[in-house]
Amino acid sequence: MSERVLLNLGPQHPSTHGVLRLVVELEGERVVNVTPVIGYLHRGFEKIAENRRYIQITPLTDKLDYVSSMANNMAYVKAVEELLGLEVPERAEYIRVIVLELQRIASHLLALGSIGNDLGMPFTLMMYTFRERETILDLFESLSGARLGYNYITIGGVMDDLPLGFTDFTLSFLRELRQKIEEYEDLVYDNEIFVKRTEGIGVLSPKDAINLGATGPVLRGSGVRRDIRKEDPYSIYHYFDWRIVTGKRGDCLSRISVWINEMKMSADIVEQAIENIPPGLFRAKVSRVVRPPEGEVYSRIESPRGELGFHIIGDGSTHPYRLKIRSPAFCNLSILPHLAKGVFIADLIAILGTLDPVFGEVDR
């Protein structure tokens, strides 16, 4: 029996997606056990929020999953609107769906490009995916004036209406994106090294995925057909024709395939929303001093990483009495020790990459 050694990966290791330390117990090149050490990005978000007015919290949510800020905005304001019993104008809901699905595409583009970089593949895939992601950031900049941290989805609707030319430009971009996704598929599925590094690696069975609390593409990559947009419809997702994307084997390649196919599905949803968007108000009338009645709510959405939930307890004041976040990135990261047992240390990096954690949300 060879001697076991402890190896620290991180907290600044280039193969991690953010500030993470992995304490890895090795026997040769095989992983015996791995312990994620988190907290390097902890800012006390939940406690800070309990000392801020409801309307002041929305910009703070941008800093959670900072590559999917629109989703954070939506999850929070949806919870507040449920506390208020507030009805959001239909046009605002259409705009929300458009930006949420564009954000999903941007997030998956980042994940797909990064996993190629993690595996030491040629830089081509990352350059291609970041090229399309830049276009989405340009669109978001035209909406909010920002390319990161948008504060766009707000209590009662959105901060501003769609600018002139936004819909035409978006439709043109989505037509081009479908052609680009074919290029991504060639770079992934036709690359023998990429396939060997991901196929059959980090297999998560459907039973384990459910029992371990997996969510989002990690869960669907194991073949579990569960998506909150279908299971517990919110906003106007039930207006559109689309299907839940799943993988077959529960391995790294299956999770990557979910990212790719979800981008196609998100593009379909955005096109349907743009074609059917009605005229009207983009925001309901909401008092500048938001004071929900005493009550409690748990509200959830399907973020690019899975179930993102906000549990808010209101005491009738201008700020929440308690606020707790259910982070999909945190829940998915907790599965890493289960997936990593017995794999090569090189495969550990691939597995971590396909869990797609963002540590602003993990640590909070």
- Residue-wise pLDDT for 168-224, tens only, equals 999 999 999 999 999 888 888 888 888 888 888 888 999 999 999 899 999 999 989
- Whether residue 76 has pLDDT greater than 70: yes
Domains along the chain with CATH numbers: 43-327 (1.10.645.10)
In order of 75, 182, 272, 305, 347, the CA distances from 249 in angstroms are 30, 22, 31, 19, 16
Rounded to an integer, the average pLDDT of 47-75 is: 89
Q: According to the model, what pLDDT value does residue 18 have?
A: 61
Q: Tell me the backbone φ, ψ of residue 309, rounded to 5 degrees.
A: -125, 145
Q: According to the model, what pLDDT value does residue 15 have?
A: 47
Q: How far apart are the C-alpha atoms of 91 and 114, rounded to whole Å? A: 35
Structure confidence by residue, pLDDT tens digits, 142-171: 988 888 888 899 998 898 899 998 999 999
Q: In the chain, pLDDT over 70 holds for what percent of residues?
A: 97
What stretches of the chain adopt beta strand conformation (E)? Answer: 4-9, 21-27, 30-37, 153-154, 157-158, 295-303, 306-314, 322-326
Q: What is the mean pLDDT of the chain?
A: 88
Whole-model pTM: value is 0.91
**The token pair that represents 227 in the structure block:** 């998506």
Closest C-alpha to 219, from 348, 326, 105, 307? 307
Start-to-end C-alpha separation, the chain: 41
- Whether residue 14 has pLDDT greater than 80: no
